Amino acid sequence: MSRIAYVNGRYVRHSEAAVSIDDRAFLFADGIYEVIEIFGGKLIDEAGHLERLNRSARELLLKLPVGERVLKLILRELVARNGVAYGHVYLQVTRGAARRDHFFPKAGTPTTLVAFAHRSDRAAAEAKAQAGIKVISVPDIRWKRPDIKSTSLLPNVLAKQQAKDFGAYEAWLVDEEGFVTEGSSSNAWIVDADGALVTHPADSGILRGITRARLFEIAAAHQIRIVERRFTVVEAKAAREAFITGATTLVMPVVAIDGEKIGGGAPGPVALGLRAAFHGFAPASE
């Protein structure tokens, strides 16, 4: 079955999906996006993702082309047309196509909305979680508003590639004071000596992960304390456990940082327990 994408009001073959070369996302990375997990054919934490999409749009003075009800219909149609039981849906909104100019396009220029769905390998993801992943630490060179989920991801791409070249899966970004902010495509966590979960405060220095937010509910139900504070790479290397969270990884144990083993070099019970509990708490679309 051919993959189907959505482009500005039309469902088209993925291979034929296209937007103008004048689109602002292509010229200026002037756009926002979201990635939502599909689990059992349902969208996971959809409300949180769409709320964040709206926040990102407000922060960038970008008008969404359709309302939430229509957007939900589009996403469900994509899941159905592509027959995706387990995977992810990606949606992107840009300021539209216009003559290349740093100023915003003239009033009335249509914004661009594209979306597509794809399958993921559940068995491979679970195998990765059981083995754990490696991360490296790199300087955080992003702009000062990573709390906006914009398509301006070049520093993240460079960090991710650096991790791959090192034989790792993820890069943890470190600010000028030596504190870990987050991963290149995930939020960063450690389990301290007291068994508390530690993660960077949800301020303008990180993206407010939807999976990250769901973990607060799961941790409370399991009587696990969460502390929102900054931590260093040195502290992370001495932690009982470490892990990352995100819509594409859920809760993924970290077993090494910069080549140094964490918690004996094997996934810890806290991270694996949180991962196992996740879909029992994260709401699925109807």
Active site residue 149: yes
- Cα 113 to Cα 161: distance, rounded to the nearest angstrom: 28
Residue 2 has pLDDT above 90, yes or no: no
| pLDDT tens-digit map of 120-171 | 999 999 999 999 999 999 999 999 999 999 999 999 999 999 999 999 999 9
| pLDDT tens-digit map of 93-121 | 999 999 999 999 999 999 999 999 999 99
State the residue for tokens 């890069």.
Answer: 171
Assign residue 230 a region: left if phi > 0, alpha if psi is -120 to 50, beta otherwise?
beta
Q: What was the pLDDT predicted at 265? A: 96
| pLDDT tens-digit map of 240-273 | 999 999 999 999 999 999 999 998 999 999 999 9
**Residue 231, CA atoms < 13 Å, CB-side half-sphere:** 23
Element (H, E) at 28: helix 24-28
| pLDDT tens-digit map of 56-102 | 999 999 999 999 999 999 999 999 999 999 999 999 999 999 999 99
Tell me the three state secondary structure of residue 200: coil
| pLDDT tens-digit map of 161-212 | 999 999 999 999 999 999 999 999 999 999 999 999 999 999 989 999 999 9
- Cα 88 to Cα 42: distance, rounded to the nearest angstrom: 10
In contact, 31 and 90? CB cutoff 8 Å: no
Which of 134, 149, 164, 237 is an active site residue? 149
